[in-house]
Amino acid sequence: MTEYEFHDFLTNAQMASGQATMDVVAVFFAFVVSTYVVGSRLNRTQAIALSIVYTIFLLLPTMTVRSTLLRIQQVAELNPNHMIPMGSVETIGLVAAVMPGILLLAWLLSIFYLISERRKLAG
């Protein structure tokens, strides 16, 4: 792989990863806002359906970011002569390993927020 191809790949991967990250943030905040606005008025079926759709829409960009970071790490390890402008290969691997745990925590907190909003209706 030439140096141009390597940097072109990194640029495209960074753009895809950045877009997927923005998608995750947008879906997360859309869920939290919709839960705040209508969460207490949702019945059980509606809350479960909303949670399933939210989970699917959150899972897809999350896996895109993770696979893109792992692909960057693999390409960087295969091309040790080229400089990586965004940090070391180890840093990229660490981010790819830690990111799903952070997003899982955010997902759990948002689902618990929906549950707490629904309980306001009962209480």
Q: Where are the domains of the chain?
A: 3-122
Round to whole Å and give the CA distance between 12 and 45: 41
pLDDT recorded at residue 33: 92
Instruction: Decide if 111 contacts 51 (C-beta within 8 A).
Output: yes
Quote the longest CA-to-CA distance of the chain: 64
Q: What is the DSSP-derived secondary structure letter of residue 82?
A: S
Asked if pLDDT for residue 93 goes beyond 70, the answer is yes
Q: What is the mean pLDDT of residues 87-110?
A: 80
Q: What is the mean pLDDT of residues 79-100?
A: 73
User: What confidence tens digit (pLDDT) does each residue in 35-56 have?
Assistant: 888 888 888 898 889 899 988 8
Provide the H-helix boundaries in the chain: 3-38, 44-78, 89-122
Please count the other Cβ atoms lying within 10 Å of the Cβ belonging to residue 27.
21
What average pLDDT is seen over the chain?
A: 83
pTM summary value: 0.75
* Percentage of residues in the chain having pLDDT higher than 70: 92
pLDDT recorded at residue 62: 83
Round to whole Å and give the CA distance between 68 and 95: 11
Measured distance between the N- and C-terminal CA atoms of the chain, rounded to whole angstroms: 63
Contacts of residue 79, Cβ cutoff 8 Å, sequence gap at least 6: 1, 6
Asked if pLDDT for residue 94 goes beyond 80, the answer is no
pLDDT recorded at residue 100: 82
